[in-house]
Structure 1
Amino acid sequence: MAVAFVAAFAVFSTNVNAQTTKWKEDASHSSIGFSVKHLLVSNVKGQFNEYSVSVLSDKSDFSDAKVTVKIKAQSINTDNKQRDEHLRSPDFFEANKFPEIIFVSKKIEKTGNNTFKITGDFTMKGVTKTLTLNGELGGILQKDPWGKTKAGITLIGEVNRFDYGLNWNKAIEAGGFVVSETVKLNIELEIGKEG
């Protein structure tokens, strides 16, 4: 299984100027999740419990945003201890050797009023490839009850785990494999403005 992911991330950006305003994740209202087909008939879901999201942007519409996401591979959680230990092993993430999964944005393209595509370098298990996710800006709240500025972002996409060396599988008699090669990403982010 792979994840993700992911990603995380802001809206709209191709500008390379040095931004000074930082946003970061509100972990209690965010999740980096994934699902994978099991035995061709059902979906197993999981998430990563430890990650950081940094968004640098000086514009109110995030049009100059630069996004970095770092995920701790050891923090994978599918609510099954034995399966999670297997996922951390060399069959999948090899988390002791490759402790971080990293996404760094390179381009953000608007596709609608509040929708966009975010493309960047995604590194997992020592392999870096280009990853594009579909995103939606849920909105920006200038002042929450605690006086903080918040923004909400949803990201969805897919990765092929075989592309990153997560190759474990077993064939089933009906054809196909125990675990699908395609992993669906579902990322919900609430980010807060720093300072």
Structure 2
Amino acid sequence: MKKTGLTFLVLFFMFGLMAQTRYLVDKAHSSVNFKVKHNGISFVNGSFNSFEGFIEGDLNSLENANIEFTVDAESIDTRIEPRDKHLRSADFFDVEKYPKMSFKSTDIEKTGDKKYKLNGLLTVKDVTKPVTFEVKYGGKIVGRDGKDIIGFTAKNSINRLDYNVAYDPDSKAIAKDVDLVLYMEFVAN
């Protein structure tokens, strides 16, 4: 009886390991976007063009997945180079001192059909704070090369002042709240 129980335990553990898949972000089909209110009357949109990340887990139980993501702060792009240069300066992201922003998941809650709350720690500059992204799972397909591809949309709004991005602290020209939207495709590795 002990031998059967031990065999079952080993098989269960091995199956669990096999079910764990690592998915790497597909940079060509993903984007990291933001929007911030300007002068209280309109918005400035932008993106970060250099990033990497992964999801590790079983698609049948995303609640147990591990997600990590990093963004190259210098890759900020609002389509206006003088503004981008200012955003890279110490007034905003201080990219020479803090070249990367990062996110590490702490837990994932299923909230509905293909809907999740992704909780984790977001680090911008020298500040790490807990955040929650609203995530919608777009589904899974098999790519041309036979590898699984999964898609997600993740949204959140953060207060930039909480992360020492404190230029215009009274928010007269630049709102304190920044909306984040990530459109992500990940490919099985």
TM tier, smaller: 0.7 to 0.9
1:28-67 map, 5 Å: 28-67=28-67
Amino acid at match of 1:193: A
**Matched pairs, number:** 173
Q: For 2:58 and 2:134, how far apart are their aligned partners in 1?
A: 22
Q: TM-score, normalised by structure 2?
A: 0.87
1:145 and 1:192 map into 2 onto residues whose CA distance is 11
CA distance in 2, matches of 1:65, 1:33: 23
Query: What one-letter code is carried by the residue in structure 1 that aligns with 2:186?
Result: I
Which one has the largest radius of gyration? 2
Unaligned runs of 5+ in 2: 1-15
- The structural deviation recorded for 1:62 is 2.5
Which residue does 1:164 correspond to in 2?
Answer: 163
Other structure's SS at 1:110 match: strand
Structure that is richer in helix per residue: 2
RMSD between superposed Cα atoms in Å: 1.7
Instruction: Answer 1 or 2: higher relative contact order, Cα 8 Å, separation at least 6.
Output: 1
- Answer yes or no: is the 8 Å Cα contact 1:169–1:178 preserved in 2: yes
Aligned residues of 1:23 and 1:56 also touching (Cα < 8 A): yes
Question: 1:170–1:178: 8 Å Cα contact kept in structure 2?
Answer: no
Q: Which runs of 4+ in 1 moved over 4 A?
A: 17-20
The offset of 1:76, in angstroms, is: 0.5
* 1:147-162 map, 5 Å: 147-162=146-161
For 1:180, the equivalent position in structure 2 comes to 175
What runs of 5+ residues in structure 1 fail to find an aligned partner? 1-16
- TM-score, normalised by the number of residues in structure 1: 0.84
Q: Which amino acid aligns with 1:151?
A: I
**Structure with higher strand content:** 2
